[in-house]
Amino acid sequence: MGRKTRLANKTQWALQDVICELHSAREATQGLRNRNEQKFMDPITSMYLQRLVDALARIEVTVVRAQHGEYGTELAPQET
């Protein structure tokens, strides 16, 4: 586990802004998923939407851990 570090206020605020944008992106993605399920039923679109949801979740986990000063090698991006 990486060592904890202290973050500057502006960095904390920036990370909080990223979290807010992630929530907006998640809501938009859910809307697209619902529309695809109700209207288009395209399995390829569903697959890409799921990959997007997974990427947003990984970004959120990384940001939350960074907010707590826990960013380390165990948070390296996963290959897709």
pLDDT in tens, 5-59: 677 888 888 999 999 999 999 999 999 999 988 988 888 989 999 999 999 999 9
- The confidence score (pLDDT) of residue 61 equals 92
Give residue 76's pLDDT band: very low, low, confident or very high (50, 70, 90): low
Distance CA 23, CA 31 (A): 12
| Sequence ranges of the domains in the chain | 9-68
For 12-31, the DSSP string reads: HHHHHHHHHHHHHHHHHHHH
Of 52, 51, 71, whose CA–CA distance to 61 is shortest? 71
Distance CA 2, CA 75 (A): 9
